[in-house]
Amino acid sequence: PPPLPLVVNTWPFRQTARRAWSELQAGGSAVDAVEAGCQQCQLDRCDGSVGYGGSPDERGETTLDAMIMNGDTFDVGAVADLRRVKDAIGVARAVMEHSEHTLLVGESASKFALEMGFPEEDLSTNSSRELYEKWRRNSCQPNYRKNVTPDPDKSCGPYKPIASSTQTWSSPIGIDNHDTIGVVVIDSQGRVSAGTSTNGATHKIPGRVGDSPVPGAGAYAAGSVGGASATGDGDVMMRFLPSYQAVESMRRGMDPTLACEDAIRRIKKFFPSFFGAIICANITGGFGAACNRAPGLDQFHYTVFNSAVGQATDYTANCL
Ligand code: SD4
- Tens of pLDDT along 138-158? 888 888 898 888 776 667 888
Per-residue pLDDT band at 165 (split at 50, 70, 90): confident
Q: Whose CA is nearest to atom 3 of ligand 1?
A: 200
Q: Whose CA is nearest to atom 6 of ligand 1?
A: 232
> Are the CB atoms for 231 and 199 separated by under 8 Å?
no
> Are the CB atoms for 69 and 103 separated by under 8 Å?
no
Q: Which of 34, 14, 30, 20 lies closest to 229, judged by CA?
A: 34
Residue 196 annotated to the active site: no
Per-residue pLDDT band at 54 (split at 50, 70, 90): confident
> Are the CB atoms for 183 and 37 separated by under 8 Å?
yes
Gap from CA of 72 to ligand 1 centroid (Å): 26
Task: Give one DSSP letter per residue of 16-65, joined into a string.
Answer: HHHHHHHHHHTT--HHHHHHHHHHHHHHHTGGGTSSSS----TTS---EE
Q: What residues does ligand 1 touch, defined as CB less than 6 Å away? A: 173, 178-180, 198, 200-201, 210-212, 231-232, 234
> Are the CB atoms for 159 and 30 separated by under 8 Å?
no
**Sign of the four-CA dihedral 24, 194, 143, 296:** positive
Digit-coded pLDDT (tens) for 204-251:
999 999 999 999 999 999 999 999 999 999 999 999 999 999 999 999
The yes-or-no verdict on residue 264 having pLDDT over 70 is yes
Determine the average pLDDT of the residues in 253-271: 98
- Atom number in ligand 1 closest to CA 179: 7
pLDDT averaged over every residue in the chain:
94
Gap from CA of 105 to ligand 1 centroid (Å): 17
> Are the CB atoms for 185 and 34 separated by under 8 Å?
yes
pLDDT for 141 equals: 83
* Spatial separation of the C-alpha atoms in residues 304 and 248, rounded to whole Å: 22
Q: Is the pTM of this model over 0.90?
A: yes
The yes-or-no verdict on residue 176 having pLDDT over 70 is no
pLDDT for 13 equals: 94
CB neighbourhood size of 90 (10 A): 22
Gap from CA of 83 to ligand 1 centroid (Å): 17
- Atom number in ligand 1 closest to CA 204: 3
Q: Which of 207, 210, 187 lies closest to 65, judged by CA?
A: 210
The yes-or-no verdict on residue 170 having pLDDT over 90 is no
Q: Which of 10, 180, 198, 231 is catalytic?
A: 180
Gap from CA of 275 to ligand 1 centroid (Å): 9
Digit-coded pLDDT (tens) for 24-43:
999 999 999 999 999 999 99
Q: Considering just the CA atoms, what is the radius of gyration of the chain in Å?
A: 19
Amino acid symbol at 34: V
> Are the CB atoms for 244 and 211 separated by under 8 Å?
no
Q: Which of 41, 199, 211, 237 to mutate to test the pocket of ligand 1 (most atoms within 8 A of CB)?
A: 211
* Spatial separation of the C-alpha atoms in residues 203 and 142, rounded to whole Å: 7
Q: How would you classify the pairing of strands 75-82 and 103-105? A: parallel
Per-residue pLDDT band at 46 (split at 50, 70, 90): confident
Q: Provide CB contacts within 8 A for 52, sequence distance 6+.
A: 42, 45, 62, 64, 86, 121, 123, 124, 125, 128, 199
Digit-coded pLDDT (tens) for 85-132:
999 999 999 999 999 999 999 999 999 999 999 999 999 999 999 999
Instruction: Point out the least confidently predicted range of 98-102, 174-178, 209-213, 295-299.
Output: 174-178
* Spatial separation of the C-alpha atoms in residues 67 and 231, rounded to whole Å: 13
- Atom number in ligand 1 closest to CA 180: 8
pLDDT for 59 equals: 94
Work out the percent of the chain whose per-residue pLDDT is above 70.
96
Residue 46 phi, psi (nearest 5): -35, 110
Q: Provide CB contacts within 8 A for 153, sequence distance 6+.
A: none
* Spatial separation of the C-alpha atoms in residues 87 and 91, rounded to whole Å: 6
Determine the average pLDDT of the residues in 43-55: 85
pLDDT for 177 equals: 65
pLDDT for 251 equals: 98
Gap from CA of 209 to ligand 1 centroid (Å): 10
